[in-house]
Amino acid sequence: MSSLFDLTGLRALITGSSQGIGLALAEGLARHGAKIVLNGRNADKVMEAAGTLAAKGFKADGAVFDVTSAEAAAKGVADIEANSGPIDILVNNAGMQFRAPLEDFPADKWDELLRTNISSVFYVGQAVARHMIPRQKGKIINIASVQSELARTNIAPYTATKGAVRNLTRGMCADWAKHGLQINAIAPGYFKTPLNQALVENPEFSAWLANRTPAGRWGNVDELVGAAVFLAGPASSFVNGHTLYVDGGITTCL
């Protein structure tokens, strides 16, 4: 049965993987045999992340490019395909958050959220799919959120982008499943990450979260690895267009 979760020899590109969820997923996929390509815009941070994996016995290549640029994404993917080898697994993880009341939300931050959280999924996903389609196989995992399903004050634009990720995942499946590609999403709940550090350190919010979540706690990033390995490997061979919520049950209590 272990062969269902064996990623040996498969190359995985994880965007936004110099820290947080992206780096945790990179390590998790590496532990199951995948060859890792880390991505970010800051070369120093990408190299530091590669060093973190190397210290644990995993080799990782770095691919420094801006996923919010269609041209940079296409060139970056082409460089990986030419110099490292074919991308078998793509994890679209790059994302950002900005909190403000909707009536005061800055227009420039709205635009930045759209570019980072949804345009990047389209740009990198399209670039990778153009290489996967001729091979008639490939796995794309988009990182959505419980905010694909829920809403909360002061993060309406973020919620809009993550709802779009969920539906773009469905659209990618509708277009690309016939070419042998499988496109799914993971929707994390509230996890301890640098993106959420301000909330983690807020006792009032953490108490609210514990009461709101059936599991009664924050998630740890390594708890996302199983979902990623499942969607990246043979075990999910007939799963397509699906969003898998890893949220401690918070979406069961609407």
List residues with catalytic annotation.
158
Please give the distance of CA 25 from its chain centroid, rounded to a whole number: 8
Structure tokens at 211: 């009461």
Whether the Cβ atoms of residue 68 and residue 119 lie closer than 8 Å to each other: yes
User: Hey, CA dihedral for 230, 232, 236, 242, is it positive or negative?
Assistant: positive
Residue 179 to residue 140: CA distance in whole angstroms: 13
User: What is the number of other CB atoms lying within 10 angstroms of the CB of residue 173?
Assistant: 20
Structure tokens at 25: 């997923």
Residue 45: exposed, middle, or buried by beta-carbon count in 10 A (0-12, 13-18, 19+)?
Answer: middle
- DSSP element (H, E) containing 156: helix 156-176
Q: For tokens 């005061």, name the residue.
A: 104
